[in-house]
Structure 1
Amino acid sequence: MGGSSKVMDGSNIKALVNDPHTFAQYVDDKFHTLDKTHNGKLSREELVPVALAIGNALGLPPKGSSPESDHIYDEVLGEFLQGKGESITKDEFTLILRDMLLGVADGLERDPVVLCTLSGSELETYANSNNFEVDAVGVFTQMEKGSDGKIPSSAIKKALEKVAVGQGMPPASDEKIAKDLLEPALQSAGVHNHGNLGQEEFLAAYRQSLLSVASLMKEKPVTVAHTEKCFDGLSITTFLKDESVLRQTLNETWISLGPFKAADGTLEKSNLRVGLDLLAPFAGLPPVGAVDEMDRVVDESFKLVDAEKGGFVNKDEFSKWSDVNPDDCLKL
């Protein structure tokens, strides 16, 4: 890949936690920084930066951007407080932070994350290759066209989301990437002035857009995190076929969803995503927000079971919802 890369497999986190002196110093520094009132305890408000940092490490969108991710941030805060009131001591903070870091390390050990610094050179090579032309024709074919068989030039921005990190492109669906990189690149390429595009015009504008993105990255490289694991549904199928493990996991997940349930013990459908995130490690899936492609698959799977229409589910309905055929989702 054009630029440097670093694999995060959890080994550095485990080395930190397993070194008593270094970990104690790390906790001291963190606790001192967070304890704004200097009373020897951390309140819910003082713990918020920790939850935000963990959410960022998991690839969650910023707090306040979606109800689903906000629930997960609240869960992290709940894990720290664990019914201990509205604050925790340094000893309590140490134990909980240790368990959380080891949990993150175990997750990275199973599904390593690669940090890549994209310098634009690989994207430039791809844009000038025969592979690009083949891919671009495929993208054009899939796009909705007008009666004249053309697409609006504004669709180029959406087309950029089809280019993968492996081809040197940072995730175009990321808001910050779109604002700081894609919009200036499209403006520089003059794409918005092209009007409606036929296939040949689309290929030319699409290539020019990629070359413009590559040029900007040469001036200011972009570092992105992504997983190289292939999610093909096999791990989900294996999980669903083990009846005893499946039922036990679903039961434990239902219990863990207690704080999100209504007074009658049912769960609002809007909280089903929280349940999915709790089930994800057992089914070999990444956390919600970690992999854009998987998030889109999850969105489609929710449409299959009408999970976005509101209402409530009981325990049996929750289990039935969780049994949706993964192959149907992954073929979408």
Structure 2
Amino acid sequence: MVAAADTQTMKDYSSKEDEEEFMMLKKKAGGGTDVDQHVLKEVSRTVSLDAVRQLGVALDDNIGYLNGRVDFPILILRMDGEDLLDFIKDPSYESEMMTIFSSIGIHEKLYVKDYFMEAVKQLTVEHGMPPSSDAFVMNSIIQPSLKAYFKNVSGDSRGCVPDDDTTTFLLEEFEKFGHILVQHLKEEPIIVAHTQITFDASKIKKLLSAKSNLLEKALDMAVIETQKDPNSVLPCKEILLAVFDHLGPLTGLPPYGAIHQIDKSVDEILMKMKAEEDEEKMKVMENEDKVKYLKMLMRVLLEHIMLELEANKPISVSSNSVIHT
């Protein structure tokens, strides 16, 4: 439910003029005269991490590995409460909030404030909520909204959640709190830099099915790179992970250790492949045979990862950072 307003795609910037243009749009997104109200609610452009950081946006560490390697779309979102209000009015509101409250634990005997704080942390830009982890959002939007909510309620709503019909109580009261959040966002819109990176099997599939010997050459280079030091004896798993990292640009996957969802999948596959047993086999192999065997194992690993991503679903990683103007 990210802002559905018009989206303008802008060229990559590589000059001072481009940066100034972007800064002007960012400033307009935060407010302006009545004449400026038609300014796009959402601006999309592709920039490098370095360029984004120059604009004062601190992206999450879990996608920091892309720095200098890959460009990806950054959405500049003006969060003014409209999307949050749409979510509250949407038929999916009750089911999504029930899921959130269930994950918190509706029988934990928490105070209303605790439920609200935990629930708002699970709302995302998709719901129209800026990241609660940002101190400005917490101090200027969430805390004042809580204060306003408790000022206007009485009885049980101030303390513990009642035992009878807990879910209904939380849904109804959080909706009231949500409307107060909406009002605060209208009064003080938050500008958020949003990016989402999706890892799927498309590049691996293309690489494995390519008629050219690109994969073969890449594997040769990667294996040679890991075998540079003849005195070092690495476990089979470590060698495969090193090769996996070298192939990253061709597979469209991040280095091992960057994204835990990918790491988990790779670990499970290597366990099924019984890399420890392969290590024992390679100890008695000649170097040439060892290289061939490693290349074969790497192909098997890539095939399994491809099937895993196709069978389940692509893995997405997102980052949301408030731009402080």
TM-score (norm 2): 0.49
Larger radius of gyration: 2
Structure of greater relative contact order (alpha carbons < 8 Å, 6+ residues apart): 2
TM-score, with structure 1 as normaliser: 0.48
